[in-house]
Chains A and B, each alone.
Chain A
Amino acid sequence: MNFYKTFAFSSYLMALVGIISLTTAEGSLYLVILSSIAISIAYYLVELKKRVSIGKTFSIIFALGGIFFSVFDFLVISKSFVLSLSHLLCIIQIIKFFQKKEDRDYWQIYLISFIHLVVASALTTDISFSIFFITYLIASIWTLTLFHLKREAAGKVLGNEIINKFFFTNTAIVTLVTLIFTIAIFLVLPRIGIGFFKKSLKREKLLTGFAEETVLGDIGLILKNPDIVMRVELLIPKGPIANKLLWRGIAFDYYTGKKWKQSIYQKKLLTSDARGVISVKGSYSDSVKSQKENLILQRIILQEMNSNVLFGLDHIRSISNLSSGLKRIYVDYTNSISTTWPHFQMIMYDVASSTESEFIEILSEKELKPYLQLPKTPIRIKNLAMKIIGDENDPFQKAIKLERYLKFNYGYTLNLKRTPGTEPIEDFLFFQKKGHCEYFASSMVLILRILGIPSIYVNGFSGGEWNEFGAYYLIRQKDAHSWVEAYFPDRGWVSFDPTPSTGNSLFGEGIWGTLSLYMDSLQMKWDSYLINYNFEDQKRVAFKMQRQIKTLQSTTENVLIKLRNSFSILAQVFIKKIKYFLMPLTIILILFIAFLIIIKARKENIFKNLLKPLKEKTKIIFYNDMLKILSDKGFKKKPETTPLEFVSIIRGDKGIDFNQIFLVTEKFYKIRYGHKELLKSEETLIQQVLKKLRGLK
């Protein structure tokens, strides 16, 4: 593959991933499409067709245009400095792609794409970021490696031998190893969370009905909103709960006739024990009748929202495992749990809740007084109350009767109509006879209070969609609900829900429904293990690893001891039984090994190579014989004398035939240096010469 084409492609890919991650995190589809098209056009025209590259003047003009647009963006569109700056960087990056690029330009493009990724990480917590992250990692490794090679070559043309299958395989391995290191470092990096400028760039969800006061109708505003509020993983027990689920948020005691609010603005700061568990105990006064509790442990991942309320399954007993965003936890006199600030970013915490029937709170008359507050109530509501309870004397039964009455005699609707000149509750009870949960709950609280039963109006969420893949409940804004808590001296606070039930899963049916559930469970895991990974999780991981190492150590020791024992027994048996066969077995083993060696050596011509010098030595032995004969005759060849020099030295002396000696020497040269074979006739001749030499005196 062409080096330069691959380099250009990976550079554009890296920039594209950066831009798409940013625009996707913003949730702006048109920006995703627009920027993708712009970069694709740039790649096509500039890199593939080599047609266009804009000059400096045009670049400046476009950049100025970009600056004006980003000012407009800051003031009107995004109204965020960071986002408008990111958009400006997008524009600059695209302009750079249309220019003729030098090394410095490439560095700027890569830096901008990195900034896009960083901004995207601050804007989103969606699992789609993981795909962008991994793609960016792959693209950046390719790009930076190729860019480095291109720079270092400094004008030298790089051939196609670099980009081959080996390069891509290696890059894939490098990416995988980098990812492993990334995860390891991520797990280990300390989570301190100083939090000077902690407000997230992400816009928190607007959630009405969970502030210090709520107007009748606030909950109704969000009952059509499918946005996810929280995910609740059931830790104990695992699996869906059969009972009706009421996720308690905030409670109100004072009704003005149109809105609910808290009469006493007083909160108690809760502290954690040595294990980091914050005990709520369910009572502002902390007095309890029974400690026997059957707890339900939930892990709640709460999305960012403009409320500081913490939710949990009714009745919340303790909170623990707080994510880094949670510092101070408060409880008020209505047992509503909250933090100092609204949740600017996603938070995670564990809640232990007990079933209401096993928990009893003791309250004095003075403490119960706010829960009996009534506004100016029309007489017919009081008459209705009497009519509903009939002869019933037991307060609890009265409440049950009232709950049933409202549930079965009034209809549910989100499309409210109002009768002019009437109070909302009066209108609901006597004219409209249908409404949503706020009206049902408010009506019940009023009537209970008329009957002298202390009660409060509670806002929270009800039900949720069970996701079997992740074993958690998904709660959306449309699950927002209002219900009633009534106090009975022998039962404590008991929840009543007079609203007729409604609601469908938004995940749908069939394969898409299943796929949606699965994707949401992945999102849940992403939120749980990565987005909300905190110091407590780090401690847990460290302890777990420590335990696993210890377990592994002891397991290994046990296995080794067992092995050792087994071997010693086996060895004893073996020695006893096999000692007679030891010798033959050893011989067979040696022979077998030798056989294998020979096969291998033959394969690699080792013997041939070993024998080669030996063969050669054998072939030239005649020359050594001749030297020996001559030495005996008094002609000793000195080591520094070459064979031919030796011939010339002994020339003509003592009757030695020079020609014969020369012939033998020549044949020696032929074999030794010419690596040739002697003919039969030559061998015969040599033998004759040697014979003659031996015969000389």
Chain B
Amino acid sequence: MHLPRKLKFTKEGTRFVILCIGIGIAAINTGLNLLFLILAMMLSSIIISGILSEISLRKISVKRFHSSRGHAGDELTIKFTIENLKMFLPSFSLIIKDKSFEDLSAYITKINANQKITFPCKKIFLNRGLFELKEILILTRFPFGLFEKSSKILCQSKIIIYPRIKQINTETISLPKHFLQSPFNNLAIKNSDEIFHGLREYRLGDNPKRIHWKSTARFLKPMIKEFEKHQESNISILLDTFLVENNDQKQKEFLESAISLCASLANFFISKNYNIFFSAYTPQFTKISFAKGRDQLYRILETLALIKPNSSKNFSFLLDELSESQITGYVIAILLNVNQGKNKISAKINLPGTLLHTINIREHSVFNYFKIHQTA
């Protein structure tokens, strides 16, 4: 959708108009008709300038294509497609500017009738968050550079920039070995959340697909593989977003580091096919139930992208909000505040089969990643 045109003088245009006024005064004063003729020529070139610039801007469609999500620090390609919808006339000297980015602009010398031009621009978003892309500005100073005519095209879209994901340094992570591997062995059924437990005799009603033929041949009776649900495939990531002072830059940096670490951990474990649970104050209480796969990762990343610090509810409140089923398996708590004592947390998370790891951002440099102390 095009918004109404705007017109403004360029530097040369202002000088031209002043010259017009000068010639006009000279013509009126002297009464010389040839001066009036020159004045008329100047005024008509202003009119022609307006007409030609209007023709250039008319029926120009600009579309912006981009991925709806990206990662902070990564290059995102934004593609612009400019199409001249006029039947016969070309457009000259078009400048396309994306109002959402100050440094994003392109110049097109000429675009013929019915021609489409596509050009990509690369943009790096340094910070996570939701970016709303607004209108695109298309302007021209054609034909004489005296006036600048512009038109805005409403082209709203959003890009969610996820936190930076970095590779987890597995050497610095003191996790039980099986957490570093896939929770499934070769005998696992595809897409199943069960792990091989053992062999037993086939009973009526069992799934014949689970018959282990080698054992059957050995024992001369049908033997079936037995599986159990792997409770240790659940990982809960809990993020503390409590900032004592919201305006403190250092605290905000800690939070960003924590978010980035969260995202990297989620990415790491999901790639290992774990069930991930996530919870934090965003500043409202938010939880993402256990699930696995890329969709789950994106749900977590999206939440992390939009997190804002909260200055009212600390980590204890978060733990109080969670149910037992949500803090089972392996729990990783990422803390911002020193006062969140590990013992206090351990007291709250004290279920059988639950393993708790805390990462205190203030105490441990995030660059070391997961230099964590395993607690009982």
A345 contacts the other chain (CB 8 A): yes
Q: In the complex the two chains form, what is the Cα distance from A161 to B28 in whole Å?
A: 44
B105 to chain A, nearest CB (A): 11
Judge whether A530 and B31 touch: CB under 8 Å: no
Judge whether A148 and B93 touch: CB under 8 Å: yes
B38 contacts the other chain (CB 8 A): yes
Judge whether B31 and A191 touch: CB under 8 Å: yes
A192 contacts the other chain (CB 8 A): yes
B47 contacts the other chain (CB 8 A): yes
Judge whether A137 and B41 touch: CB under 8 Å: yes
Q: In the complex the two chains form, what is the Cα distance from A530 to B36 in whole Å?
A: 10
B37 to chain A, nearest CB (A): 6
A594 contacts the other chain (CB 8 A): no
Q: In the complex the two chains form, what is the Cα distance from A200 to B35 in whole Å?
A: 12
Query: Contacts A137-B41, A148-B141 known; A325 to B31 CB distance under 8 Å?
Result: yes
Q: What is the interface of chain A mostly: helix, strand, loop, or mixed?
A: helix
Extra contacts besides A117-B38, A174-B143 (8): CB < 8 Å: A124-B34, A152-B95, A152-B107, A181-B43, A193-B29, A194-B31, A198-B30, A200-B32
Q: In the complex the two chains form, what is the Cα distance from A152 to B96 in whole Å?
A: 13
B45 contacts the other chain (CB 8 A): yes
Q: List, in ascending order, chain B residues with CB within 8 A of A158's CB.
A: 109
B44 contacts the other chain (CB 8 A): yes
Q: What is the interface of chain B mostly: helix, strand, loop, or mixed?
A: helix
Cβ-neighbour of B36 out of A184, A186, A200 (below 8 A): A186
Encode contact with B along A159-181: 1 for CB under 8 Å, 0 otherwise: 00110001000000010011101
Q: In the complex the two chains form, what is the Cα distance from A179 to B44 in whole Å?
A: 8
Query: Contacts A152-B107, A162-B110, A174-B48 known; A189 to B36 CB distance under 8 Å?
Result: yes
Q: List, in ascending order, chain A residues with CB within 8 A of B145's CB.
A: 144, 147-148, 151-152
Interface positions of B (Cβ within 8 A of A): 12, 19, 23, 26-41, 43-45, 47-48, 51-52, 90, 92-93, 95, 107, 109-110, 141-145
Minimum CB distance partner of A344 in chain B: B30
Judge whether B35 and A121 touch: CB under 8 Å: yes
Q: List, in ascending order, chain B residues with CB within 8 A of A179's CB.
A: 44
Q: List, in ascending order, chain B residues with CB within 8 A of A148's CB.
A: 93, 141-145
Q: List, in ascending order, chain A residues with CB within 8 A of B143's CB.
A: 141, 144-145, 148, 174
Q: List, in ascending order, chain A residues with CB within 8 A of B144's CB.
A: 144-145, 148
Identify 13 residue pairs between A and B in the complex whose beta-carbon atoms are under 8 Å apart, listed by A's number.
A121-B37, A148-B93, A161-B110, A177-B48, A178-B48, A182-B37, A185-B43, A186-B36, A189-B27, A189-B39, A200-B32, A345-B31, A531-B34
Q: List, in ascending order, chain B residues with CB within 8 A of A192's CB.
A: 28, 31
Q: List, in ascending order, chain B residues with CB within 8 A of A152's CB.
A: 93, 95, 107, 109, 141, 145
Judge whether A118 and B38 touch: CB under 8 Å: yes
Q: In the complex the two chains form, what is the Cα distance from A158 to B110 in whole Å?
A: 10
Q: List, in ascending order, chain B residues with CB within 8 A of A325's CB.
A: 31
A533 contacts the other chain (CB 8 A): yes
Cβ-neighbour of B31 out of A153, A183, A193 (below 8 A): A193
Judge whether A122 and B47 touch: CB under 8 Å: no
Judge whether A197 and B31 touch: CB under 8 Å: no
Q: In the complex the two chains form, what is the Cα distance from A269 to B31 in whole Å?
A: 23
Minimum CB distance partner of B49 in chain A: A144
Minimum CB distance partner of B92 in chain A: A149
A363 to chain B, nearest CB (A): 39
Q: In the complex the two chains form, what is the Cα distance from A121 to B42 in whole Å?
A: 14
Judge whether B41 and A198 touch: CB under 8 Å: no
Q: In the complex the two chains form, what is the Cα distance from A137 to B38 in whole Å?
A: 10
Q: List, in ascending order, chain B residues with CB within 8 A of A124's CB.
A: 34
Q: In the complex the two chains form, what is the Cα distance from A129 to B35 in whole Å?
A: 12
Cβ-neighbour of A195 out of B31, B52, B93 (below 8 A): B31
Q: List, in ascending order, chain B residues with CB within 8 A of A153's CB.
A: 107, 109
Minimum CB distance partner of B12 in chain A: A107
A324 contacts the other chain (CB 8 A): yes
Interface positions of A (Cβ within 8 A of B): 107, 114, 117-118, 121-122, 124-125, 129, 133, 137, 141, 144-145, 147-149, 151-154, 156, 158, 161-162, 166, 174, 177-179, 181-186, 189-198, 200, 324-325, 345, 530-533
Q: In the complex the two chains form, what is the Cα distance from A223 to B231 in whole Å?
A: 127
Judge whether B93 and A149 touch: CB under 8 Å: yes
Q: List, in ascending order, chain A residues with CB within 8 A of B30's CB.
A: 122, 193, 195, 197-198, 200
Q: In the complex the two chains form, what is the Cα distance from A479 to B93 in whole Å?
A: 61
Q: In the complex the two chains form, what is the Cα distance from A531 to B48 in whole Å?
A: 25
Judge whether B41 and A194 touch: CB under 8 Å: no
Q: List, in ascending order, chain B residues with CB within 8 A of A121's CB.
A: 32, 34-35, 37-38
A496 to chain B, nearest CB (A): 40
Judge whether B37 and A122 touch: CB under 8 Å: no
Q: In the complex the two chains form, what is the Cα distance from A17 to B51 in whole Å?
A: 27
B136 to chain A, nearest CB (A): 18
Q: List, in ascending order, chain A residues with CB within 8 A of B38's CB.
A: 117-118, 121, 133
Q: List, in ascending order, chain A residues with CB within 8 A of B26's CB.
A: 118
A611 to chain B, nearest CB (A): 28
Q: Kindly list the 10 A-B residue pairs having the minimum CB-CB distance in the complex, ordered from nearest.
A: A193-B31, A181-B44, A121-B34, A185-B40, A186-B40, A148-B145, A324-B31, A144-B144, A182-B40, A145-B143
Judge whether B35 and A122 touch: CB under 8 Å: yes
B144 to chain A, nearest CB (A): 4
Judge whether A133 and B35 touch: CB under 8 Å: no
Q: In the complex the two chains form, what is the Cα distance from A190 to B29 in whole Å?
A: 12
Judge whether A189 and B109 touch: CB under 8 Å: no
A119 to chain B, nearest CB (A): 10
Q: In the complex the two chains form, what is the Cα distance from A174 to B43 in whole Å?
A: 14
Q: List, in ascending order, chain A residues with CB within 8 A of B141's CB.
A: 148, 152
A343 to chain B, nearest CB (A): 13
Minimum CB distance partner of B37 in chain A: A186
Minimum CB distance partner of A180 in chain B: B44
Minimum CB distance partner of B47 in chain A: A181
Q: List, in ascending order, chain A residues with CB within 8 A of B44's CB.
A: 178-179, 181-182, 184-185
Q: List, in ascending order, chain B residues with CB within 8 A of A530's CB.
A: 33-34, 37
Q: List, in ascending order, chain B residues with CB within 8 A of A129's CB.
A: 34
**Residue of B27, B30, B93, B143 most packed against chain A (CB within 10 A):** B30
Q: List, in ascending order, chain B residues with CB within 8 A of A144's CB.
A: 143-145
B22 to chain A, nearest CB (A): 9
A84 to chain B, nearest CB (A): 19
**Residue of A133, A181, A531 most packed against chain B (CB within 10 A):** A181
Minimum CB distance partner of A192 in chain B: B28
Judge whether B28 and A194 touch: CB under 8 Å: yes
Minimum CB distance partner of B45 in chain A: A178
Judge whether A182 and B41 touch: CB under 8 Å: yes
Q: List, in ascending order, chain B residues with CB within 8 A of A184's CB.
A: 44
Q: List, in ascending order, chain B residues with CB within 8 A of A162's CB.
A: 109-110
A151 to chain B, nearest CB (A): 7
